[in-house]
Chain A
Amino acid sequence: MNTPVIRLAPTLASRNRQQLLALLPAIAIQLWQWGPPALLALASASASALLADSLGLAWRRQAIWPGLRQGEALLTAVLLSLLLPDAAVPLLCLCTGGAILLLRQLFGGSGSSLFHPVAGGLLLAAPWLPAGLPHADIPLSLALLAGGLWLLWRGLLRWQAPLGLLLVVLIALPVGSGWLLGQSALWLLAGWVMSDGSATPITPRGRLVYGQAAGMLCISFVTLTTQPDAGVTLAACLLLLSASAPLLDRLTLSPGPRT
């Protein structure tokens, strides 16, 4: 059979590896902030994610090792443990595994998951999160920003949706959205969740609209209600908008002009 003999872009596995690599500074800062418990949380979340993914793959009668090798489960675990630094370890494991099983495997594996497992996992954990005033985590935010910029430079970041979100946040500064910029969850969701392909529209225009809509929804929620956690709100908005992604695709995707 014909083989695409030269590859001009990294494969899925190497993409996911580089996304993990871009998270390294953030992980380091979190370890520094929270100490060994954070390491334990990270390790157990990863284990639970891998377990859930293999279970799902086995259930769907797919080859397990090639599926795991893509690294998506690991990425989900790391993202969730960064998002939920203060959650209890069992809760973290439960929502990581649950999100992977429910939102990825049940929908038919990566690529078919209409709702991003990280956003879903965050929402799953939300009711049990300790309520408290959100605090700005500037170092972590900066580390994430740096990682995102590195991804952008590598050409691995589909930047339209994050750009749409940031634009809206910047425009809404007079309304008082400035504090959002200090939230590490915002950067994490923007750089690693909103840039995912299957949960967002596929056309650049659709992604821009998606990002802007997410920003507007999120800002109206946090300013109009008393919900203090930007991350959970944004995750909920993303899930809500993901449901409209197929519609946006239908509107923006066309075969193009015939020649």
Chain B
Amino acid sequence: MSRPSILPAHTDPGSQPLLTTPLPAQLRLWLQGASCCVEVGQRVLKHQLLAEADSEFGVAVHAPTSGHIRAIGPLPQALPDAPLLDGLQLQPDGLDEALSLPAESNWPALSALALAMRLQDMGVMGQHGPLLPLAWAAKASPLALLIINAVENEPFLQADSMLLCEQAAAVAEAMAMLGRILQPARLVLAIQQEQGAAINALRSLAADQCWQLEVIQAPYPAGDEAQLLRALARPEESGNSLCLPVAGVHAAGRAILHGEPCISRIVTVSTALKQSHNMRALLGSPVADLLTCAGLSSQQHALVHGGGLRGFALPDATIGIHQHSHCLLVRPRQPALTAQPCIRCGDCASICPSQLQPQELYWHCSRQELAQAQHWRLADCSQCGLCSAVCPSQLPLLDSFRLASQQLLLAEQQQCAADAARQRHRFRQFRLERDKQEKAQRLAERAAQQAAKLAQQAAEPTSHAEPTATAADKQAAIAAAMARAAERQQQRPAVAPSVNSSEREAAIAANRQAAIEAAMARAAARKAAQEAAKAAAADAPAMAKDEDQNKPGLNQQQQALIQAAMHRANAQKAAASSSPASLDQDKKALIAAAMARAAARKAAGDETEQDK
């Protein structure tokens, strides 16, 4: 069973005129990735900005015609069982008063990124989000191959052919503009052999242009990005090419060269009986209006959004069309069908353009064995729907592949979240442990210092006691130095915390070592203090008096430590709240804290030196 022989032949829209839908009574626009900047009740003019893109993947929404905003709130989406999505309802007032937006007069000077952002603001959409992905444009890498995709990627679809027949010059203009700004080494317009009328319209234009016309021979999923790249890109170009839908390119041309935001698109309304109507419809027009325009009634038919093989049933004919609504399929309602078990006919495998074994994939997907599904190359499924369309048992192959891919994606996200949580939890444990050690150390240090001071003071009044005092002093200094060394040793693993378990273990081992050393330092300090006390026993009243004088020094040190701790907390907080990429935060916070601590230590060290 070969693909070309069973796919319905493409028919040219040639003889059919491009219809224009009458102004609908209500427009329903979705605000995905865009935040609304108008209010309910406000009058808006055609082309006026209604919502601004609020993420990298959203595009702005403009008013398709003049009228009043009637509601802003959740609307049903054109997806099966999807939750409501925020949208706005615009009631046209029939005047079609337009805001005149200036064209970009100096467009050749635009950079790729500026162009991408301009297109986002003009509401020009590509496959996923803005026509030119912002992340790609920001990299500003030289482009080897730019493919403008005019291949009709569904049976019965004629929208792109229609656009090329009607607006060949405008499309050529837009392509020249893109070629000028993006400077691709090769600019190609891909079209399928069956789209004869469109090829004819372009042939005359392609002669003296910077782009070439590539006529594709391959059958159906030839319009997929991956398939086009495989067919057109030379090996050296394949990593560095971009594929844009021709409708988006046309809209980009209108937006940049004429200052018209994208507010309409061409939709094919087909009954699959060689009867297709193409119409230019305002974005947000209810599906029912399009059907009426094509002379069909939404009451008697089943509606499919998005083409015959990949489309899905629309729950509701009041849903407004959006930038991806290239095709509406109207079918007679079918009797309920029941899927039968797989008879292992192998037809799905022989038709699959990705050379998969859909029957094995389905077996594993339907039993939720995602790892096995991955083994059978679920990731390579282009979700073209051919296997579902030929399966004699009418199994929901495509549906289960879509579901399984999404489950895989979800599992991946969950794994990422769990990994992040693990890292944070381990770091927290490490931090608690370290804080405990540090506290012990601080106490030891303080005791050592106090002892040193005591020894000093004990030594000062009586000259004959000097030898013992210096000995005690020395011992105290050694203890302090050891304590410092221990602390420093403990800092070392802190530079790269808990990156993996072995390093973590090393850190913990170092901590333990530090604890032992701290304990030793403590013992030494205690000993020193004892000796100092012994030495000073003769002069108890003097010591008691001098103790008060010691306090400011100690207080200073304490303050420095408190400051350090506060610094660390601040640094942690700042790091935690600064960037969404939270994986590195712990590391950053730790480094910041270590730096703050080092500064504090230095300050404290200076102080003790001054004290001496």
CB distance from A12 to the nearest CB of B (A): 4
B377 interface contact, C-beta 8 A: yes
A44 at the interface (CB under 8 A from B): no
Identify the closest chain A residue to B307 (Cβ).
A5
> Chain A residues with Cβ under 8 A from B313's Cβ?
1-3, 5
Q: Are B394 and A11 in contact (CB under 8 A)?
A: yes
B229 to chain A, nearest CB (A): 11
Which one, B41-49, B385-393, B437-445, B570-578, is touching chain A?
A: B385-393
Tell me, yes or no, whether A70 is within 8 Å of chain B by CB.
yes
B493 at the interface (CB under 8 A from A): no
B24 at the interface (CB under 8 A from A): no
Produce 1/0 per residue, A195-213, CB < 8 A to B: 0111000111000000000
Number of interface residues of A (CB under 8 A): 35
Tell me if B428 is interfacial: C-beta within 8 Å of chain A: no
Q: Which of B338, B349, B385 touches A66 (beta carbons < 8 Å)?
A: B338
Task: From known contacts A253-B360, A256-B377, A258-B377, infer whether A5 and B304 are also in contact, taking CB-CB under 8 Å.
Answer: yes
Query: When the two chains form their complex, are residues A203 and B342 in contact, meaning their CB atoms are under 8 A apart?
Result: no
In the complex, A130→B567 CA distance in Å? 102
Quote the shortest CB–CB distance from B201 to chain A (angstroms). Answer: 28
In the assembled complex, the Cα of A111 lies from the Cα of B343 at a distance in Å of 4
Which chain B residues (134-157) contact chain A, with CB distance < 8 Å? 155
Partner-contacting stretch, out of B1-9, B86-94, B176-184, B417-425:
B1-9
Closest to B313 in A: A3
Query: Does B197 reach chain A (CB closer than 8 Å)?
Result: no
CB-based contact B390/A2 at 8 Å: no
Interface flag for B430 (CB, 8 Å): no
Contact in complex: B394, A4 (CB < 8 Å): yes
Chain B residues with CB under 8 Å of A158's CB are 345-346
Q: How far is the CA of A3 from the CA of B305 in the complex (A)?
A: 11
Q: Mark B1-42, 1 if CB is under 8 A from A, else 0.
A: 100011110000000000000000000000000000000000
Grouping DSSP codes into helix (H, G, I), strand (E, B) and loop, the B interface class, with mixed when no group exceeds half, is: loop
Q: Give per-residue flags for B99-121: 1 if the beta carbon is below 8 A from chain A beta carbons, else 0.
A: 00000000000000000000000
Q: How far is the CA of A198 from the CA of B357 in the complex (A)?
A: 15
Chain B residues closer than 8 Å to A2, beta-carbon distance: 80, 311-313, 396, 398-399, 402
Does B170 sit within 8 A of A, measured CB to CB?
Answer: no
B236 part of interface (Cβ distance < 8 Å): no
Which of B155, B340, B344, B375 is close to A255, meaning CB atoms less than 8 Å apart?
Answer: B375
CB-CB < 8 A to A1: which residues of B?
A: 80-81, 313, 396, 399
Known: A3-B313, A5-B304, A5-B329. A255 touches B394 (CB 8 A): no
Q: Once bound together, how far apart are the Cα atoms of A110 and B340, in whole Å?
A: 9
Residues of A within 8 A of B272 (CB): 6
| A8 contacts partner chain B, Cβ-Cβ < 8 Å | yes
**Docked complex Cα distance between A155 and B311 (Å):** 26
Q: Does B475 contact A (CB under 8 A)?
A: no
Nearest A residue to B6, CB-CB: A8
Q: Which residue of B lies closest to A253 (CB)?
A: B357
Contact (Cβ within 8 A) A197 B345: yes
CB distance from A149 to the nearest CB of B (A): 17
What mask results when residues 175 to 219 of chain A are scored 1 for a CB within 8 Å of chain B, else 0? 000000000000000000000111000111000000000000000
Assess whether B380 is in contact with A258, with CB atoms less than 8 Å apart. Answer: yes
Let me know if B304 and A8 touch, CB within 8 A: no
Q: Is the CB of A255 within 8 A of B357?
A: yes
Interface: B341 (CB within 8 A):
yes
Per a CB cutoff under 8 Å, which of B5, B308, B393, B402 touches A12? B393
- B141 CB to nearest chain A CB (Å): 23
Q: Is the CB of B80 within 8 A of A112?
A: no
**A-B CB contacts (within 8 Å), total count:** 118
Contacts of A171 in B (CB 8 A): none
A109 to B393, CA, bound (A): 13
In the docked arrangement, what's the CA distance between A70 and B339, Å? 11
Nearest Cβ in chain A — how far from B235, in angstroms? 14
Cross-chain contact of B155 among A6, A10, A257 (Cβ < 8 A): A6
The residues of A that contact B312 with a CB separation of less than 8 Å are: 2-3
Q: How far is the CB of A227 from chain B (nearest CB, A)?
A: 30
Is the CB–CB distance between A111 and B340 below 8 Å?
yes
Give the distance in Å from the alpha carbon of A11 to the alpha carbon of B338 in the complex.
11
Would B343 and A8 count as touching, CB distance under 8 A? no
* A66–B312 alpha-carbon span in the complex (Å): 25
8 A Cβ contacts from B325-344 to A = 329, 331, 337-338, 340-344
Using Cβ atoms and an 8 Å threshold, which residues of chain B touch A202? 344, 346, 349, 359
Contact of B7 with A3 in the complex, beta carbons under 8 Å = no
Q: Which residue of A lies closest to B1 (CB)?
A: A155
> Is B346 within 8 A of A6, CB to CB?
no
Expressed in whole angstroms, the Cα–Cα distance for A109 and B1 within the complex equals 26
Central interface residue in A2, A15, A70, by most chain B CB within 10 Å = A2
B344 touches A197 (CB 8 A): yes
Chain B residues 345-371 with CB under 8 Å of chain A are 345-347, 349-351, 354-357, 359-360
Given A111-B343, A198-B344, answer yes or no on A9-B390 (Cβ-Cβ < 8 Å).
Answer: yes
Residue of B386, B391, B392 with most partner-chain A CB within 10 A: B392
Check if A9 sits within 8 Å of B389, measured CB to CB.
yes
Select the residue from B329, B337, B343 with max chain A CB neighbours within 10 A. Answer: B343
Chain A residues lying within 8 Å of B341, measured Cβ to Cβ, are 108-112
- B357 and A256 within 8 A (CB): yes
Q: Is A133 an interface residue (CB 8 A)?
A: no
| A9 and B347 form a contact (CB under 8 A) | yes
Chain B residues with CB below 8 A from A7, complex form: 389-390, 394
> Using a CB-CB cutoff of 8 Å, which residues 112-141 of chain A contact chain B?
112
Measured CA separation A110–B345 after assembly (Å): 12
B309 at the A interface (CB under 8 A) = yes
Which residues of B sit under 8 angstroms from A224, Cβ to Cβ?
Answer: none
Residues of B with C-beta under 8 A to A70: 340
Interface centre among A5, A7, A256 (most CB of B within 10 A): A5
User: Which residue on chain B has the smallest CB distance to residue A249?
Assistant: B344
A: which residues have CB within 8 A of B? 1-12, 15, 63, 66, 70, 108-112, 155, 158, 196-198, 202-204, 253, 255-259
In the complex, 23 of the A-B residue pairs with CB atoms within 8 angstroms, ordered by the A residue number, are A1-B80, A2-B311, A2-B313, A2-B398, A4-B388, A4-B389, A4-B391, A5-B329, A7-B389, A7-B390, A8-B7, A9-B347, A12-B340, A12-B393, A63-B338, A111-B340, A111-B342, A198-B344, A202-B344, A203-B346, A256-B355, A256-B357, A256-B377
The 10 closest A-B pairs by CB, nearest first: A111-B341, A6-B308, A4-B388, A197-B344, A9-B390, A197-B345, A2-B312, A8-B389, A12-B392, A111-B343
Identify the B interface with A (CB < 8 A).
Answer: 1, 5-8, 80-81, 155, 272, 304, 308-309, 311-313, 329, 331, 337-338, 340-347, 349-351, 354-357, 359-360, 375-377, 380, 385-386, 388-394, 396, 398-399, 402
Q: A4-B394, A257-B355 are in contact. List 11 more A-B contacts (CB 8 A).
A: A2-B80, A7-B394, A9-B6, A11-B337, A15-B392, A111-B340, A112-B341, A197-B343, A203-B349, A258-B377, A259-B380
